[in-house]
Amino acid sequence: MRLFPHARRVKARLLQEFAGKRILDIGCGASKTLGAIGLDRRLRAGIPKESQMDVACDLEKLPWPLKDNSFDLVIFSHVLEHLNDVVGALEEINRITKPGGQVYLEVPHFTWVEAFRHFEHKHFFTLGSFDYFIKGNSHYQTDFKILKRYLFFDDFTNCIGVGFLANRFTRFYEKRLAFIFPGTSFYVLLEVDK
């Protein structure tokens, strides 16, 4: 059991909040969120039907076969770093999420060894990487508002206070301390404000 904040707890709270609403789990593979619609490119044999994805498509080919303004909550966890077109994927998420809907986006932090270890990772992210996609930036067709972001650490790093400081003073942490006390992953909770 983890002592400090963990992605599973954040997602569990979101799933409670959005119970009974339309939820999309993108890149879910064989671990689709219960009650969500799964969207992924890989079908796997031997997986129980309730865990299988519902829509198979190549996430690199845009647009995805989903209607505009279809989902109240989109879960996009550890997928974006695998895609070639980050901007296109975020614009697609903006398109398919209902106005007022939320997007849970989780990616590896650029200091985590696993971000570099996996041969399919094509992009690396900082806590500020998604600031460019807020509503009003004329370079991207997105209408996001950042509700929350949080950088995860292992329990030891949290125990010595680095987790608290890094999440309070993110820019200072990433410029001065990130490679001394690497994070693992982080999430950004976005709201679609269109």
User: Residue 106 falls within a domain, yes or no?
Assistant: yes
User: Residue 1 falls within a domain, yes or no?
Assistant: no
Per the structure, the count of domains in the chain is: 1
Tokens representing 36 are 């969500």
Cis preceding linkage at 99, omega within 30: no
Q: Which residues constitute the domain of residue 184?
A: 7-192
Model pLDDT, residue 33: 85
User: Residue 27 falls within a domain, yes or no?
Assistant: yes
User: Residue 2 falls within a domain, yes or no?
Assistant: no
User: Residue 22 falls within a domain, yes or no?
Assistant: yes
Edge to edge, what strands does the sheet with 37-40 contain?
A: 55-56, 37-40, 23-26, 71-77, 97-108, 185-192, 144-151
pLDDT in tens, 72-115: 999 999 999 999 999 999 999 999 999 999 999 999 999 999 88
Tokens representing 169 are 């003073």
Alpha-carbon gap, residue 151 to 185, rounded angstroms: 6
Query: How close are the terminal C-alpha atoms of the chain, in Å?
Result: 39
User: Residue 164 falls within a domain, yes or no?
Assistant: yes
Q: Residue 150 belongs to a domain with what CATH number?
A: 3.40.50.150
HEC-encoded secondary structure of the chain: CCCCCCHHHHHHHHHHHCCCCCEEEECCCCCCCCCCEEEECCCCCCCCHHHCCCEECCCCCCCCCCCCCCEEEEEEECCHHHCCCHHHHHHHHHHHEEEEEEEEEEEEECCCHHHHHCCCCCCCECCCHHHHHECCCCCCCCCEEEEEEEECCCHHHHHCCHHHHHHHCHHHHHHHHCCCCCCCEEEEEEEECC
Model pLDDT, residue 110: 96
* pLDDT < 70: residue spans in the chain: 1-3, 42-53
Query: With contact defined as beta carbons under 8 Å apart, do 26 and 40 qualify?
Result: yes
Closest by Cα among 31, 124, 119 to 86? 124
